[in-house]
Amino acid sequence: MKIGGVNLGKVAILTLLIFSACDDQLNEPLENQPLNRATSEEVQLDLLLGSYSSLHDLQWPIHPTIGLRGDDVNSGPEDDQPLMLAMNAYSYDENAWFFNNVWNDLYNDITSDFWSSIEEIEKINSELGDTEAGDQYIAEIKVMIGFEMLHLTRLWGDILVPTGSSPDAFAELPVSTREEALQFISELMDEAIPFLPTVRPNQRTDIQGGITAYTALAVKAMANLDLENWNEAASATAEIINSGLFSLYPDFYEVFNKPGELSDEMILEFQYSDFGTAANATGEFNHLFNFYGPPGAGWYPAVEGVANGWGFWEPTQKYVEFMLDRNDLIRLEKTVHFTPNGVARIEASGYTDLPDFTTISQIEGEDVVLTKSGDGFGNNVRVDFHSGKHILPSTQISGGVTRFNSGKNFTVIRYAEVLLMHAEAVVSGGSNSSISAEEAVNLVRERAGLDPLGSVNLQVVLDEKYAELASEWGIRFADVVRHGITDELNEGGRTYNPGEDRFIPYPVTQVDLLPQLDR
């Protein structure tokens, strides 16, 4: 049952097949199994693949809950998911169903899946003479823990920091401060890095697209940015840059589409696949991207029959105007898909010389704006702008498949973000052992078709991050609150209170279960 060259887009189905084939073994306690080398390493691999499957089984409310608090995106209309709309305006309800869902989903991953798998791999390691494979698998899973725990800190600040799978131990955990949790993440990445391959994820021949040392370094950089430990953040990003392994995918429009998947820019992406057939275009092997997609009315896919989404996750008018003011059109074209009403809103704000990709055409007698891929976006009462990064062109969906965004990977960490994190750390005072902040920013600007800058400061770097990373993983919100530039969040009728609105409340259900949270 040797498995090599695994593509993580197939992890879900492989995990099912592996566990089915090993069912008799895996139904027995590990201590009752014959621990010969072959079967032991196979079980370790099964546990690793199961952890990847859990990581990629991203429940749909997680990303919106992480990302709906910046000046880059809006939630849906008032009559649908009003608690998400309230969160979008920095009004948090501790009874919000998705707060509890996200807490449960992330902590279940961390304890029941990730730490549990580490513990089982460690048991097998104790019986093996050569633990190299098991040590690497443990390190990969530690990066998964660090990534999910980072987002727990960004949502709740002070959190519980589990170091094992025991439910009883979890119930007794003290609340760690946000700073303690972030330091734990940074040190966990330091533990993992020596055991991880020093290649790009797409260079891995055992698990293509899997976690590498550079994924761990990126998570370490994120944690240290939030700690305002600029030297550590600069050092981690410098190591990624100095490897010389990564580069920006040349076409920004396609970075988030099928051509950009497993490219040299990707440091972490959640992989999905329909394996080219409608039978596999299911939730078992795909993410539920419907949240981000265009609602039915006004959706004119180039490939007839491709389904619509729900009409949430709308780029803000502020972001659109920011990009127009910069003449940052290459990135704007992919980040925002316009509707005719959206075009009218921008024109009413005084923007009359708009780019060609906002031109209004007609399909079936209805006004639409066509993307370069041929998909048409007409008017709908729910949204005036659509999030292009989260909409796969219908022409790239497998033939005969109608599921919205079927087979689309979820972009998580890109080299562009590493370059801009590096610039942020350096201009904030971090010591530099790699390219300058100006060079890092200009590499990103070059792909966007913008002129290079002779010098940069913090505001320039944060503007570049806003332009490049809008609508991705709550990065914009984390950036402005980190540096106290929270006036940026007072837009669209929303008002951010720096003393109260950085973190959401613990879910009331969890406070009932975990009294230590009630403080």
Assess whether 266 and 315 both reside in one domain: no
Place of tokens 């049952």: 1
Specify the CATH number for the domain of residue 63: 1.25.40.390
Instruction: Give the Cβ contact number of residue 48 at 10 Å.
Output: 28
Q: To 10 degrees, what angle do helices 132-156 and 116-125 make?
A: 160
Assess whether 348 and 446 both reside in one domain: no
- Contacts of 188-192 with CB under 8 Å at 24 or more apart are 188/142, 188/145, 188/146, 189/142, 189/143, 189/146, 189/216, 189/217, 189/219, 189/220, 189/223, 190/220, 191/139, 191/142, 192/138, 192/139, 192/140, 192/142, 192/143, 192/146, 192/216
Q: What is the pLDDT of residue 519?
A: 67
Tokens encoding 329 = 């059109």
Assess whether 174 and 316 both reside in one domain: no
Q: Which residues of the chain have pLDDT under 70?
A: 1-38, 519
Contact yes or no for 277/398 (Cβ under 8 A):
yes
Tokens encoding 466 = 């806003």
Contact yes or no for 223/189 (Cβ under 8 A):
yes
Assess whether 303 and 443 both reside in one domain: no
CB contact burial 340-377 (16+ within 10 A = b; e otherwise)? bbbbebbeeeebeeeeebbeeeeeeeebbbbbebebbb
Q: How far apart are CA 388 and CA 72, in angstroms?
A: 13
Distance of CA 289 to the CA centre of its chain: 13
Q: Under the phi-then-psi rule, with left for phi > 0, alpha for psi from -120 to 50, and beta for the rest, what region is 492?
A: left
Assess whether 381 and 469 both reside in one domain: no
Among 395, 426, 454, the domain-final residue is: 395
Assess whether 205 and 86 both reside in one domain: yes
Q: How far apart are CA 131 and CA 509, in angstroms?
A: 41
Q: How far apart are CA 25 and CA 392, in angstroms?
A: 41
Assess whether 376 and 436 both reside in one domain: no
* Residue 451 covered by a domain: yes
Tokens encoding 228 = 């305002």
Q: How far is CA 371 from CA 10, 11, 125, 511, in A?
A: 30, 32, 53, 47
Among 360, 395, 430, the domain-final residue is: 395
**In terms of DSSP bridges, do strands 266-270 and 410-414 run parallel, antiparallel, or are they unpaired?**
antiparallel
Amino acid symbol at 189: M
* Residue 282 covered by a domain: no
**Number of domains comprising the chain:** 2
Greatest pairwise CA separation for the chain in angstroms: 74
Collapsed DSSP state (helix, strand, coil) of residue 370: strand
* Residue 125 covered by a domain: yes
The enclosing H or E element of 343 equals helix 340-348
Tokens encoding 251 = 């076409």
* Residue 252 covered by a domain: no
Assess whether 261 and 311 both reside in one domain: no
Per DSSP, 292 falls in state G
* Residue 249 covered by a domain: no
Collapsed DSSP state (helix, strand, coil) of residue 477: helix
Give strand pairing partners of 314.
74
* Residue 251 covered by a domain: no
Tokens encoding 273 = 């696949």
Q: What is the pLDDT of residue 9?
A: 53
Q: Under the phi-then-psi rule, with left for phi > 0, alpha for psi from -120 to 50, and beta for the rest, what region is 425?
A: alpha
Q: What is the pLDDT of residue 37?
A: 58
Assess whether 191 and 103 both reside in one domain: yes
Q: How far is CA 396 from CA 258, 306, 391, in A?
A: 7, 11, 11
477-486 pLDDT, tens digit per residue, is 999 999 999 9
Contact yes or no for 226/153 (Cβ under 8 A):
yes
**In terms of DSSP bridges, do strands 73-74 and 159-160 run parallel, antiparallel, or are they unpaired?**
unpaired
Place of tokens 């409608």: 278
* Residue 462 covered by a domain: yes
Q: How far apart are CA 9 and CA 18, in angstroms?
A: 15
Q: How far apart are CA 320 and CA 336, in angstroms?
A: 8
Tokens encoding 517 = 């949270």
Assess whether 138 and 261 both reside in one domain: yes
* Residue 515 covered by a domain: yes
Assess whether 218 and 322 both reside in one domain: no
Assess whether 296 and 154 both reside in one domain: no
Q: How far apart are CA 257 and CA 447, in angstroms?
A: 16
How many residues appear in the chain?
A: 519
Contact yes or no for 492/74 (Cβ under 8 A):
yes
Among 395, 423, 444, the domain-final residue is: 395
Give strand pairing partners of 208.
7
Collapsed DSSP state (helix, strand, coil) of residue 128: coil
Q: Dihedral sign, CA of 24, 29, 31, 37?
A: positive
Q: How far apart are CA 183 and CA 189, in angstroms?
A: 10
Give residue 216's domain range. Answer: 1-244+257-271+409-519
